[in-house]
């Protein structure tokens, strides 16, 4: 089976840039999406097709994907960005999610 690996937790000071990595074998050859989930809420799509952003998602969220790693970058991190973040991709007709990263904003 295909695995996507994320760090369990990332901490960032408010106003700084947070980066969350997602690693998988030849992940750069696949499309990656990112989701944000706040406690008690359903996930929300942040990015798709590696780095495309829906119109209702703030510009401070961006993404890239190359080699074996996809990266979610949050510029000017705000307190409201404190949440769990999941990467997602595909492998042989199945969907794969990363284990999730808890972002703490200090």
Partner 1 sequence: VELVDSGGASIQPGRSLRLSCAASGFNFAGYSMHWVRQRPGKGLEWVSGITWRSESRGYADSVRGRFTISRDDATNSLYLQMNSLAVEDTAFYFCARDSAPDFTYGSGSFESWGHGTLVTVSS
Residue 72 CB, nearest approach to partner 1 (Å): 14
Q: From residue 66, how far is each of 9, 32, 63, 105 by CA, in Å?
A: 22, 10, 10, 27
Gap between the Cα atoms of 78 and 50, Å rounded: 22
Residue 100 CB, nearest approach to partner 1 (Å): 4
Toward partner 1, which CB reaches closer, 49 or 106? Answer: 49
Q: Applying CB under 8 A, which residues contact partner 1?
A: 1, 30-31, 33, 35, 37, 42-45, 48-49, 54, 84, 86, 88-90, 93-100
């Amino acid at each position: 089976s295909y695995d996507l690996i994320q760090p369990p937790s990332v901490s960032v000071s408010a106003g700084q840039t947070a980066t969350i990595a997602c690693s998988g074998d030849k992940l750069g050859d696949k499309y990656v999406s990112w989701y944000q989930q706040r406690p008690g809420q359903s996930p929300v799509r942040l990015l798709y097709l590696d780095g495309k952003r829906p119109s209702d998602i703030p510009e401070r969220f961006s993404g890239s994907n190359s080699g074996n790693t996809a990266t979610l970058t949050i510029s000017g991190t705000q307190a409201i960005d404190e949440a769990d973040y999941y990467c997602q991709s595909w492998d042989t007709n199945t969907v794969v999610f990363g284990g999730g990263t808890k972002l703490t904003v200090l």
